[in-house]
Structure formats: structure tokens, C-alpha cells
Amino acid sequence: MSEHTFATRVSRWYERNARDLPWRVPGVGAWAILVSEVMLQQTPVVRVLPAYEAWLARWPTPAALAADPPAEAIRMWGRLGYPRRAMRLHDCAVAIVERHGGEVPDRLEQLLALPGVGTYTARAVAAFAYGQRHPVVDTNVRRVVSRAVAGEPDAGPATRPADLVATEELLPAEPAEAALASAAFMELGAVVCTARSPRCAVCPVESICAWRASGQAAPAGPTRRPQRYAGTDRQVRGLLLAVLRESSGPVPRQRLDQVWTDDVQRSRALAGLVTDGLVEPAGGETFRLAGDGPAIPAPALDA
């Protein structure tokens, strides 16, 4: 298969069919793209949309976010889930201000050096904000490449260097075209070449897809079940955070004790929030969101 035939077909399809999403508006800016990428990592588009708009309305620049305490980022994160991402975005905003004068850097190595910015996010920002040629490989892209090029129904375990090479080989040489193709591959995997029900009849690469040509053998691996939430530590952490988010000051432990009856699980969840830096002790058996008030003096050590 010609790489350019593949990328060209998917890009032309994308130009006609891409979902109208605010982080794709031309000139939206690198900060907005970084925020959207972090939010989208573990949360569906429909839930990200209102949170993204509210976040950027409040903090349109990294400097605006960096000027507020991390507690405000955790509050604003609301119920998007996996709230450590709020802390990461805040840490990132501080680093962008301190190291790059408040501008999201455009060089891949500088992006990779930001706190919490990994292989995927750095390349996504470099490609989508700055029009650079980088393989942007998420789960959807791995699946598309695996099916269309390798003829395998599932991508199998992530092997980062191999995944990057396999996707880069499909990108056009011209940077802007490559960035467009990267967005197009992601969209194809998100809405057409889905994990469970690929819509091959409307796929722009149907006639050159290796998996389609092979007769579409059933996926070899077990189908992933959705993660359980009810009764997990994640649920308890969410309940504790909800109380702390709604409070404007330190919350007594007795108040937190009311959110969950299992003492062992509740204590473990609270300790986990403290370890993750989302919550901090505020003195006298009280707790608060990280940085939600003046620093607590360390207890005096006995002589």
C-alpha cells in the first residue's frame, strides 16, 4: 500500500467529515490544544466539551492558571475523573511560565520536558498547534494502523517505538499535510474504525485495507470489559474530593467520615489523595485541597 494513498484518502475524508470540535478551530492556540489533549485522554468528548470551555474561559493562558493555587484547578476539574490530570495541567502551566515566558513551547524536546506531558501529548501539541510532522499515536491510531496496514484485528500491547515508526511511515513528507493526516487517523479510529463495530462500508481506505482484504478474522484477544467504578477506591476518592471541592476551607475528618462507611477503605482513599498531592492535611484533624490556603507550618520537633 502506498503511504501517500492511505494518508491522502484519510485526510480528504477528514476534511469532509471531521466533527466540529472547538479545539480544532484554526488558530485556537497551543494552550487550548494542550488542555483539550489532557482532558480527552481518559474522558469522552461529550463530557470534555463543557469542561474545556469553562476552563479556557477562566484560564485562557498558562499564566492565568499558574497564578491560581492548584486547589482551584482541582475544583474546576469537577467530575471529569482522574483528577491528577488537573494537578498535572497546573504544574505544566507553572513550568511554561517559568521556563518559556508563558508560551507553550514548540520544540518536541521542550514539550516532553514539561511535567506530565508524555509521548502522545507532546507530539499532539507539536502537530496540531504548530503543524509539525510527528506520529501522533493513541489507541485509535494504533488500531487503524494495525488493521489497515498489518491486517491484524487488534493492535495488541503498546510498543511505543514500533508504533511510532509504523505510523510515521504513513505520514506525508510535508509537515502541514502530515499534521492533518495525524488528526485524520485519530478521527477515523474514533468514529469509523472503532474497536467493536468498524464501519468498513463507509471507510475511505476500505479498498486498500489489509484486514478487510483478509476477510476480517475475529479479534484474537478478549474483549475488554468496562472498568467497574461502584465500590472501588476511585469512587471513594471521588466522594471525598466532592466534599473538599465544595468547601471553602479546611474540612474536619468527621465530615469526611460521613461519605463512606468502610473505615479501612475510606482511610486508604484519603491517604491516596494525600500521597497524590491532591489533598493536604490542614492541621488539627482537618484536610483541604492542595494549596487551598496559606502554607501549614511544619510541627516543631522535640529537642
C-alpha dist (Å) from residue 183 to 7, 232, 282: 11, 35, 45
Nearest approach, Cβ of residue 4 and ligand SF4 (Å):
16
- Burial letters for 100-124: b for 16+ Cβ neighbours within 10 Å, e otherwise? beeebbeebebbeebeebebbbbbb
What the block records as the C-alpha cell of 295 is: 502554607
Residue 124, sorted as left (phi over 0), alpha (psi -120 to 50) or beta, turns out to be alpha
**Shortest Å, Cβ 84 to ligand SF4:** 33
Q: Which is closer to ligand SF4, CB of 205 or CB of 273?
A: 205
Per annotation, catalytic residue among 3, 37, 168, 174: 37
Please report, as a single letter, which amino acid is at residue 122. Answer: A
The span from the CA of 278 to the CA of 270, in Å, is: 10
Q: How far is the CB of 294 from ligand SF4 (least distance, A)?
A: 55
Our CB check for ligand SF4 shows the closer of 125 and 148 to be 148
Q: Which of residues 201-220 bind ligand SF4 (CB under 6 A)?
A: 203, 205-206, 209, 211-212
Judged by beta carbon, residue 211 or residue 260, the one nearer ligand SF4 is: 211
Report the residue number, 183 or 209, with the smaller CB distance to ligand SF4. 209
- The C-alpha cell at 200 is 468498513
Query: In the Cβ-directed half-sphere of 56, how many Cα atoms lie within 13 Å?
Result: 17
- Give the shortest CB-152-to-ligand SF4 separation in angstroms: 10
Per-residue CA distances from 280 to 116, 175, 226, 287 (Å): 20, 45, 31, 6
Owner of C-alpha cell 501539541: 125
Would you state the cell numbers that stand for residue 3, as one nine-digit string?
Answer: 503511504
Interface residues for ligand SF4 in 128-147 (CB under 6 A)?
144, 147
What Å distances lie between residue 22 and 79, 85, 97, 140, 145, CA to CA? 20, 20, 24, 20, 26
Gap between the terminal Cα atoms of the chain: 75
Shortest reach from residue 216's CB to ligand SF4, in Å: 7
- Cell 502554607 locates to 295
Applying the rule CB under 6 A, the residues between 181 and 200 that interact with ligand SF4 are: 192-193, 198-200
Closer residue to ligand SF4, CB minimum distance, 172 or 198: 198
d(CA 155, CA 136): 15
Give residues with Cβ within 8 angstroms of 36, minimum separation 6: 22, 23, 48, 52
Query: Would you count residue 13 as binding ligand SF4 (CB under 6 A)?
Result: no
Q: Is 37 marked active-site?
A: yes
Q: Using the rule CB under 6 A, is 71 a contact of ligand SF4?
A: no
Closest distance of CB 207 from ligand SF4, Å: 8
Nearer to ligand SF4 among residue 203 and residue 290 (C-beta)? 203
* Residues identified as active-site: 37
Q: Which residues bind ligand SF4 (CB under 6 A)?
A: 144, 147-148, 192-193, 198-200, 203, 205-206, 209, 211-212
